[in-house]
Amino acid sequence: GAGVSQSPRYKVAKRGQDVALRCDPISGHVSLFWYQQALGQGPEFLTYFQNEAQLDKSGLPSDRFFAERPEGSVSTLKIQRTQQEDSAVYLCASSLGSSSEQFFGPGTRLTVL
């Protein structure tokens, strides 16, 4: 498809496990964003990439969260030693440029037991 894809769609982890969430942006989109959406809340900004450069990681809640986009295309959000408060839907979005319309993927629902 031509949209943003994310995998897995659902992930259940035991507390303390590490998880990796993948985002495939729309081809040619320079900008990539990660958001966290807790239950009953709106999406909250986590981090922003322009190509392979992570220009803003001000929204990452702790140093257990790490994101990368090594070749300027696919991105991975890694959460180490997951905690129950990490349970949320993690949304990825991409756009042509930083100020352009952001296209969202379907999200990965992470449940930490």
Partner 1 sequence: DQQVKQNSPSLSVQEGRISILNCDYTNSMFDYFLWYKKYPAEGPTFLISISSIKDKNEDGRFTVFLNKSAKHLSLHIVPSQPGDSAVYFCAASGEGASGGSNYKLTFGKGTLLTVNP
State which residue, 82 or 95, has the beta carbon closest to partner 1.
95
Contact between 66 and partner 1 (CB under 8 A)?
Answer: no
Residue 28 DSSP symbol: T
Contact between 34 and partner 1 (CB under 8 A)?
Answer: no
Q: Is the dihedral of CA 38, 56, 78, 31 positive or negative?
A: positive
- Restricting to residues 69-98, name those near partner 1 by CB under 8 A: 91, 93, 95, 98
From candidates 4, 60, 79, 110, binder to partner 1 by CB under 8 A: 4
Contact between 102 and partner 1 (CB under 8 A)?
Answer: yes
C-alpha dihedral, 30 to 45 to 60 to 110, nearest 10°: -100
